[in-house]
Structure 1
């Protein structure tokens, strides 16, 4: 209001008896586009009814009653206040907010953000992927864009840029050409820490990876790490390893010489990505005709070391890390044959499929091998399959047989046969 309200009038209107009315009136007009129309319902005590009746110029009973906002506005204009309801509310409680307009504006901003997401997904060639609807629904449910607030548009741009860089892996290709997590973040976000575990961009990207690989959204550090590794992103270069036994590289370099010495001493070696980059990736791991066998579980390599088998064995410890994939790809590139054995379960077959696409042959992973292993199981060590087994790329009958039998066989159950092949 242009003319300040006289203090006596202000004190009268600020009476505690009227506080509930002003509170309801403020809420109403803020939800009503700041229009002084409509009605509010209030419970009137005697004191409030008397003050309100005096203001409106009529007797009002002390009970629940409806107040016409337009009448209240007009009464205030004709009173000593000499201003309408909106001005009175601002004098008593500060500036009003047009919440209806704010909702409309927010809805428009939100729609614009989702439209931006569609546009940027199209720009990186991912808009039509079957996993995208699940991913977007998950973003909505988790409120990730809302949590980004004023940075939501930037978040979308960064996330889509990262997904574009990972598109070959998201499309099911093997990602042996790896990224360091910090490098990926530096290239596509605000800095090297843009994809750290607490960053919203990391949460959004990993939800996309989970959707693309048909996995649940990650809830643990290990699950987040596994998702990064599945698309060729290495969270660090020292914790992921490939474990080797009896590896005797034929080269004359320092690393090959060291590995032969370790093999002669009967030592197990954990090879990290850092070691690969500095030395291990610079020399062949075996002669071209030498078969390198690969297992899924460390217990198998442990048993091989205890038995001091004569042939080399690599262990990828479950889903292969970046170093595991790099080593296996290098074997194929150098013409060194490799064969893999893993668990007869859904995860084991999926890992075997991935390695098979890299040129690794199955090792005792046929339908006959599975049935022979099942025949040795007792009721005490029989384990039910968890979920359907994916299609097996090297033995069309294996998947159907496993799903029919409904039993998983961990590779330790074939330990004697595996060790026999390595002796």
Structure 2
């Protein structure tokens, strides 16, 4: 190795022998614990070659074959007095080709950085008028215990806490009433400088909603629906337009304008895309006559065929796994006294979705083992699709799951479309 950091070749070869490697490893570990100070000792057990080399370096006999305590100060002095003229830390770095790290100092530095993060949080809370809020101590304790900030690092944690507290100050200290409702993007722009600052995946949003749960005495949010409900409680409007449920022949019985509009669309044979925004506008209006049977499917092709054939029975389509709007719609209609029945794909993801929908209060619709077996018997070579993925439980019919596993074949909704349409007439 040449240059200002080099050792004379003969000395480097002398020190770099594998017979001294255990000692250098122990010395590195001690230095990194010692804040790079050559103090204390290391205990090493060297073979004869290693003992001879170390004896030559220290100028005294070191016996082989037994654990010996070697003073780091003696090693440092011997190296500085050698032809290399370098101290212990420099020699270790040259021999290993990597720096010796001050791990103890780094730990202290990190602790100091985190202490500053928590200090600035206290200042932010005071500026937002929240310092004496009774929920603050529990919120901070939950943040410390969760590790959500530690994983992100001090810089990201500092920004997230600053944005979260500023947002909370606006929301918790603001005036109430319909005029005080804020759009999430507008709030994020005001606080963070970007409309996406409080998006679902941001640390700032997670920290803010944890605080909101403490402030409003609600459970910590675990699902997208939980988070949306918390934003709503804070009078913040999230995205209520992109998620939809397709609706066919839904006829609310009320006399309000929205109910009349839905009946008019049904009379015209139009499909309606129901959104969270529309359900909010509908408010407490009954979505269907009490006791009416509402069919629910997974695949839009089923609803499309129902519209094409002018089926008179109401049908909803979730287009796969139910989003927030689908979950809310099903719960609301079940609560209002409608009977919802669900059909989906006979594959593992499909029956997992079915279990979730039925867990919301729906009943199975042609989703039993006998329905599956009858469909399998009609399959031709062009429609045979092997079951893949992890098996799912079928609590509405415990026999269905084992039968599907035994057959090993998937049956999708499109294949049983004639059966479903016949049941919608």
TM-score interval, smaller chain: 0.5 to 0.7
2:42 counterpart SS class: strand
1:63 counterpart residue number: 66
1:333-382 residue CA offsets vs partner (Å, 9 max, x unmatched): xxxxxxxx99xxxxxxxxxxxxxxxxxxxxxxxxxxxxxxxxxxxxxxxx
Partner of 1:143: 147
The match for 2:93 is: 90
- What's the Cα RMSD here? 4.0
Residue 246 of structure 1 pairs with residue 217 of structure 2: no
**Change beyond 3 A, Cα 1:191–1:26:** same
- Which of 290, 294, 312 aligns to 1:303? It is 290
Counterpart of 1:40 in 2: which secondary structure? strand
Q: CA separation in 1, counterparts of 2:181 and 2:291?
A: 30
Q: Equivalent residue for 2:217? A: 214
- Structure 1 residues 263 and 201: alpha-carbon distance in aligned structure 2, compared to 1, 3 A threshold: same
Instruction: Look up the match of 1:231.
Output: 234
Name the CA distance, whole Å, in 2 between partners of 1:19 and 1:216.
56
Counterpart contact for 1:245–1:263, Cα < 8 Å: no
C-alpha contact (below 8 Å) 1:248/1:260 kept by paired residues? no
The answer to whether 1:14 aligns with 2:16 is yes
- Cα distance change of structure 1 residues 249 and 219 upon mapping to structure 2, 3 Å threshold: closer
* Aligned counterpart for 2:164 among listed residues 159, 165, 189: 159
For 2:44 and 2:83, locate their aligned partners in 1 and report how far apart those are by CA, in whole Å.
Answer: 24
| TM-aligned CA deviation for residue 143 of structure 1 | 2.9
1:166-181 → structure 2 map (5 Å cutoff): 166-168=171-173, 177-181=180-184
In the alignment, structure 1 residue 35 sits paired with structure 2 residue 46: no
Task: Report SS of the residue matched to 2:180.
Answer: coil
Partner SS, residue 133 of structure 1: helix
| Aligned 8 A contact 1:44 1:63 in 2 | yes
CA distance in 2, matches of 1:7, 1:116: 53
1:151 Cα offset (Å): 3.2
Q: Secondary structure at the match of 1:24?
A: helix
CA distances 1:156-184 after superposition (whole Å, capped 9, x unpaired):
22111211122148x9x677732332222
Residue in 1 that maps onto 2:112: 108
Q: Which runs of 4+ in 1 moved over 6 A?
A: 173-176, 262-265, 267-271, 292-295
Pairing of 1:6-405 with structure 2 (within 5 A): 6-56=8-58, 57-93=60-96, 94-146=98-150, 147-168=152-173, 177-238=180-241, 239=243, 245-249=252-256, 258=261, 261=264, 272=275, 274-275=277-278, 303=290
**For 1:108 and 1:53, how far apart are their aligned partners in 2?**
43
In the alignment, the residues of structure 1 paired with residue 207 and residue 73 of structure 2 have an alpha-carbon distance, to the nearest angstrom, of 49
Query: Per-residue displacement from partner, 1:378-416 (whole Å, max 9, x unpaired)?
Result: xxxxxxxxxxxxxxxxxxxxxxxxxxxxxxxxxxxxxxx
User: In structure 1, how many angstroms separate the alpha carbons of the residues matched to 2:220 and 2:178?
Assistant: 21
Distance of 2:263 and 2:129 partners within structure 1: 47
Take 1:115 and 1:175, find their aligned partners in 2: how far apart are those partners? 36
Between the aligned partners of 2:292 and 2:27, the Cα distance in structure 1 is 81
Distance 1:43 1:136, change over 3 A: farther
Residues 293 and 105 (structure 1), Cα distance of their counterparts in 2 relative to 1, 3 Å cut: closer
Deviation (angstroms), 1:6? 0.7
Q: In the alignment, is the contact (CA less than 8 A) between 2:251 and 2:266 conserved in 1?
A: no
8 Å Cα contact 2:20-2:46 kept in structure 1? no
CA contact under 8 A between 1:249 and 1:259: conserved in structure 2? no
Deviation at 1:141, TM superposition (A): 2.2
Structure 2: stretches of 5+ with no match in the other structure: 294-323, 329-334, 337-425
Whole-angstrom CA distance in 1 between matches of 2:49 and 2:90: 24
Aligned pair count reads 290
Change (3 A) 1:303 1:270: farther
Residues 319-344 of structure 1: CA deviation (Å, up to 9, x unaligned): x99xx9xxxxxxxxxxxxxxxx99xx
What TM-score, normalized by structure 2, do the two folds share? 0.57
Distance in 1 (alpha carbons) for counterparts of 2:108 and 2:198: 33
Kept in 2, the 8 Å contact 1:42–1:65? The answer is yes
Distance 1:149 1:40 in 2: 35
Distance 1:195 1:219 in 2: 16
SS at match of 2:290: helix
